[in-house]
Amino acid sequence: MHSQDKLPDHVCIIMDGNGRWALKHGLERNDGHKMGAEAVRDATEFAAETGIGYLSLFAFSEENWGRPEQETGALMQLIMEYVEKETPNLMKNNIRVLFKGDLYHLRPQVLERLEQCMQTTGGNTGMTLIIFINYSGKWDILQAVNKLLEASPNLQTPISYEAFSGYLSTTGIPDPDLMIRTSGEERISNFMLWQMAYTEFYFTPVLWPDFRKSDFRVALKAYSNRKRRFGKIEE
Ligand code: FPP
């Protein structure tokens, strides 16, 4: 990155390929997730150092519940441990952490840890790290519609895009400028559907546990060369 390169304010990542990484190394899938957590540390550090405002990570989708209990349990445990272990480091780096998703359906012990972390880091003024757990883009839109229906007697209709966005779980967070997906898969997988209407997509074959700062730098470089027109013509 050069100082004149255009930097995204909000980067979101679909961290994919932990299972394939494990298979490649003759390890268990859960070992792949553990190595994935190491890559999370690296990416967070890099984003904060670089001056990115918001880093969003898709850690556990609503659909991930379809995996064997052994894996979903281990993933939840790993996320909990990570959050606990990393909080001092996040404090040191002035990082505010938010968790987004259907959090109230998580085990109370998990929810409690997440809330603790949000509270501890809530006053930090550097980068915002958003970890999506039990999240899906369709869930987000539906929960917004449900909130709207509850508010309906007092609603100003027709509702504007801005007003609707105010009901999404990501309200207050700018839409992602760049979405990175690792492992060679090229889809959105029910991540922030509404919010990614004009996001630039970057796909890399690198498996998530192998994703290092240098890979992140290449993605940012690619972004800086994109011309964003938002449906208009170039000026
Ligand atoms: C996708 O790989 C990855 C996940 C479903 C989980 C992401 C979780 C982590 C990176 C670790 C913990 C997260 C935090 C925030 C500490 P996959 O299992 O679908 O891989 P595959 O497609 O190769 O099987």
Q: What is the CATH number of the domain that holds 109?
A: 3.40.1180.10
Helix, coil or strand: residue 181: strand
Q: At what angle do helices 29-50 and 69-92 cross, to 10 degrees?
A: 30
Verify whether residue 16 is a known catalytic residue.
Answer: yes
Q: Which ligand 1 atom minimizes the distance to the CA of 29?
A: 18
The structure tokens listed for 22 are 């494990």
Q: Could you tell me the distance, in angstroms and rounded to a whole number, from the CA of residue 21 to the centre of ligand 1?
A: 10
Q: Strand (E) positions, 53-198?
A: 54-61, 96-100, 128-135, 178-181
**Which among 179, 191, 223, 174 has a CA at the least distance from the CA of 9?**
174
pLDDT at 151: 86
Question: Residue 151 falls within a domain, yes or no?
Answer: no
d(CA 75, CA 70): 9
Q: Could you tell me the distance, in angstroms and rounded to a whole number, from the CA of residue 80 to the centre of ligand 1?
A: 14
**Which among 170, 216, 172 has a CA at the least distance from the CA of 8?**
216
Model pTM score: 0.96
The residue to mutate among 12, 13, 14, 16, having the most atoms of ligand 1 within 8 angstroms of its beta carbon, is 16
Question: Residue 66 falls within a domain, yes or no?
Answer: yes
Question: Residue 228 falls within a domain, yes or no?
Answer: no
**Which among 40, 78, 95, 62 has a CA at the least distance from the CA of 190?**
62
**Strands across the sheet with 200-203, in order?**
96-100, 128-135, 54-61, 10-14, 178-181, 200-203
Which residue intervals of 159-212 are DSSP H helices? Answer: 161-165
d(CA 189, CA 179): 12
Q: Which residues line ligand 1 (CB under 6 A)?
A: 15-20, 33, 36-37, 40, 57, 59, 64, 75, 78-79, 82, 131, 183, 208
The residue to mutate among 14, 18, 85, having the most atoms of ligand 1 within 8 angstroms of its beta carbon, is 18
Domain assignment of residue 17, given as a range: 10-136+176-223
Query: For 181, phi and psi rounded to 5 degrees?
Result: -125, 130
Q: Which ligand 1 atom minimizes the distance to the CA of 185?
A: 22
Which residue intervals of 93-136 are DSSP H helices? Answer: 108-121
Question: Residue 168 falls within a domain, yes or no?
Answer: no
Q: Could you tell me the distance, in angstroms and rounded to a whole number, from the CA of residue 18 to the centre of ligand 1?
A: 5
- Output Rg (C-alpha) for the chain, integer angstroms: 18
Verify whether residue 64 is a known catalytic residue.
Answer: yes
d(CA 93, CA 50): 12
Q: Could you tell me the distance, in angstroms and rounded to a whole number, from the CA of residue 15 to the centre of ligand 1?
A: 6
Residue in 16, 140, 177, 215 annotated catalytic? 16
Q: Does residue 205 contact residue 16 with C-beta atoms inside 8 Å?
A: no
pLDDT at 3: 62
Q: How many domains does the chain have?
A: 1
Helix, coil or strand: residue 214: helix
Question: Residue 30 falls within a domain, yes or no?
Answer: yes
Q: Could you tell me the distance, in angstroms and rounded to a whole number, from the CA of residue 32 to the centre of ligand 1?
A: 8
Question: Given the structure tokens 């192998």, which residue do they identify?
Answer: 210
Query: For 132, phi and psi rounded to 5 degrees?
Result: -95, 120
Question: Residue 48 falls within a domain, yes or no?
Answer: yes
The residue ranges of the chain whose pLDDT is under 50 are: none
Question: Residue 198 falls within a domain, yes or no?
Answer: yes
Which residue lies with its CA nearest to atom 1 of ligand 1? 16
Question: Residue 217 falls within a domain, yes or no?
Answer: yes
pLDDT at 5: 80
Polymer length in residues for the chain: 235
Residue in 31, 42, 64, 190 annotated catalytic? 64
Measure CA 228 to chain center: 22
